């Protein structure tokens, strides 16, 4: 992680139940991601180089199995942070396709809730 001041570009990624909204594309370089949690629960942003969420190794609840990703595919993450807050991470992104995922799986009232399976994934193209 670097300093957001040194980033080539800053993009906003908005998290809500159950979506991740981000620009469709961004120029390659050092990218600051301002993750805005407009939801009511904690969320995170995991950045994976890959064609789609469906192409990534997933567990029984739809979570991406980060330990089973190809070497170098896991770019980094903005750890889970509370609703109503904004957190920023800085990542070096080369041209390609990336999947942004809230990879949280939790138990609520005795039921498993998988944020990625509920739709908290999106894809961006880095040119």
pLDDT of 1 reads 58
**For residue 89, pLDDT beyond 90:** yes
Domains of the chain: 4-126 (2.60.40.420)
Answer for the pair 37, 47: CB distance below 8 angstroms, yes or no.
no
Across 2-104, the runs of DSSP E, i.e. the strands, are: 9-16, 19-21, 25-26, 29-37, 43-49, 74-81, 86-93, 96-101
What are the residues facing 120 on neighbouring strands?
none
pLDDT digits (tens, 9 = 90+) for 26-67: 999 999 999 999 999 999 999 999 999 999 999 999 999 999
């Amino acid at each position: 992680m670097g300093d957001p001041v040194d980033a080539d570009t800053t993009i906003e990624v908005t998290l809500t139940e159950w979506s991740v909204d981000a620009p469709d594309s961004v120029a390659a370089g050092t990218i600051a991601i301002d993750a805005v949690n407009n939801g009511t629960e904690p969320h995170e942003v995991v950045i994976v180089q890959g064609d789609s969420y469906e192409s990534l190794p997933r567990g029984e609840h739809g979570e991406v199995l980060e330990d089973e990703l190809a070497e170098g595919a896991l770019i980094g993450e903005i750890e889970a942070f509370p609703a109503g807050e904004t957190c920023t991470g800085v990542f070096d992104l080369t041209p390609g396709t990336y999947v942004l995922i809230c990879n949280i799986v939790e138990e609520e009232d005795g039921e498993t809730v998988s944020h990625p399976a509920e739709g908290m994934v999106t894809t961006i193209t880095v040119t």
